[in-house]
Structure 1
């Protein structure tokens, strides 16, 4: 009888241990499942909005261009591929966003230039160009793009709303011209077109105004 009682106590104890292990296993399973859910949801929550994305290839060299963010500040990423030495990704912060990107061999040296057109945040909509030139297929360096205020003829009556495009080996910029007394929504001075050529400078390549016209 005593032996039966001892066996019964042992059996109850064993069942209690198994129940505890099952409960612990259930808790661990719930934690794992919750962690799995969090591991899926967190990247989505942290993912930035894609404003612009484009891949451009010329002369066996590729550029992946992307612009992400929300609000007035965004992030521009340029990732070159096919360069012999330096394919390091470039990341820049913009006060605005990208509107377009183009690729062309602007100086006819057998290697491309990548041009990225941006527009400022706010109502001004001032345009800018971020450009990189390939150096003998090995690396890239930034191209200097002059402020329009550096040229009095080019900057007279300028209030933004730029459009940029490449025509053959020329960078073309167009914008409406404002006369004194014009409202922001009603420029009356026609359209100005500025043509830039890529030149070799002392420190880097740069864009130089070649022609200015109005129509």
Structure 2
């Protein structure tokens, strides 16, 4: 079994790249993830790690609160049957990284929920949609309607609202990659090396 199950590189600006990887030998349902930040202008490299429980399905980059600091959002398919999809979010600001707590579905939002989540970024917001089931029977099929939720970010706190009545008229975006990750804790480390300068503009980097 290969040690690395998932990799996606996100360049938020010239010289500022975030590589997201997951790994773990001997299990397909547990392991760890890392967000590797490369600041090629300053020759600085930092790492944010966390525990995995499941598989990463996609990773998104946004600046949802318009503060100039990038957020990296990891979408994972969890093993539990209450919250099939989870988002693990981090905001990077110069030398620091902040973990963002993504809210669980409320009882009303979860009504008829059986997974099948589709996430995408639209106009600086994170949109979540999923099919609605009419019963909790394991043999039940979705009724054709979907629920859409919109997540915004302010002061590093998520807010969520339903943006439409349950409807069949929704957007479908298929995740590009598939592999899991779930995160309980994270820690950040960094390694620095001197260089004569070179790359372009400095943007964000994490705590050492």
TM over 0.5: yes
Per residue, is there more strand in 1 or in 2?
2
Is 2:134–2:140's contact at 8 Å kept on the other side of the alignment? no
2: CA distance between counterparts of 1:54 and 1:158? 28
Equivalent positions of 1:149-188 (< 5 A) are 151-180=106-135, 182-184=137-139, 186-188=141-143
Match of 2:102 among 138, 145, 148: 145
Question: Alpha-carbon deviations, 1:142-161, whole Å to 9, x = none?
Answer: 1110011xx23312111222
Is 1:72 the counterpart of 2:29? The answer is yes
2: CA distance between counterparts of 1:190 and 1:157? 10
Q: What residue is the counterpart of 1:97 in the other structure?
A: 55
Structure 2: 5+ residue runs without aligned partners? Answer: 168-208
Call closer, same or farther: CA 1:87–1:190 in 2, change over 3 Å: same
1: CA distance between counterparts of 2:114 and 2:28? 22
1:182, distance to aligned residue in structure 2 (A): 4.8
2: CA distance between counterparts of 1:152 and 1:122? 16
Call closer, same or farther: CA 1:99–1:81 in 2, change over 3 Å: same
TM-score (norm 2): 0.68
1:211, distance to aligned residue in structure 2 (A): 3.2
Match of 2:74 among 99, 108, 116: 116
TM-score (norm 1): 0.66
Secondary structure, aligned partner of 1:188 = strand
Secondary structure, aligned partner of 1:154 = helix
Two-structure CA RMSD over aligned residues (Å): 2.6
Question: In the comparison of the two structures, how many residue pairs are matched?
Answer: 161
2: CA distance between counterparts of 1:185 and 1:49? 37
1:125, distance to aligned residue in structure 2 (A): 8.0
Q: What residue is the counterpart of 2:9 in the other structure?
A: 55
Is 2:112–2:136's contact at 8 Å kept on the other side of the alignment? no
Match of 2:150 among 174, 187, 195: 195
* Larger Rg computed on CA atoms: 1
Per residue, is there more helix in 1 or in 2?
1
Is 1:59–1:110's contact at 8 Å kept on the other side of the alignment? no
